[in-house]
Amino acid sequence: MNAEAPIPFPHSDRISDEVRFDRKELGQILRVYGRMVAAGEWRDYAIAAMRDLAVFAVFRRTSETPLYRIEKRPRLRHRQGLYAVVGMDGRVLRRGHDLDQVLKVLERRLIGPV
């Protein structure tokens, strides 16, 4: 029998170059997402992994533009902060180094103005 070499997965080197949320980060984000879904505020989400950033986008309805984008940008790690919450209009609502602190801007929106 002729044993052939395994065929490599296409673009396997590209996958490792993409920025992604790790398990802990996704847990933190999904905890907030679950509370917002339970409150009836959010209904869908999308995750994107790109070369420069990872995005977790939340939607009120699937067909709409995202209400918020939670972004992870490793290049800004030493400057403004690794994480950011961006509003529908493109404004950065909060940026920082600690994801839990950055996500608090979304919690306040659920509770209302203090």
Tell me the per-residue pLDDT of 79-92, one tens digit each, with 9 for 90 and over: 888 999 999 999 99
Stretch 55-59: mean pLDDT:
94
Instruction: Find the angle CA(82)-CA(85)-CA(88) to the nearest 5 degrees.
Output: 145
pTM over 0.85: no
Give the Cα separation of 85 and 13 in Å (integer). 29
- Domains of the chain by residue range: 18-111
Which one is predicted more confidently, 114 or 102?
Answer: 102
**pLDDT of 110 higher than 70:** no
pLDDT band at 24 (very low <50, low <70, confident <90, very high): very high
Contact (Cβ atoms closer than 8 angstroms) between residue 61 and residue 44:
yes
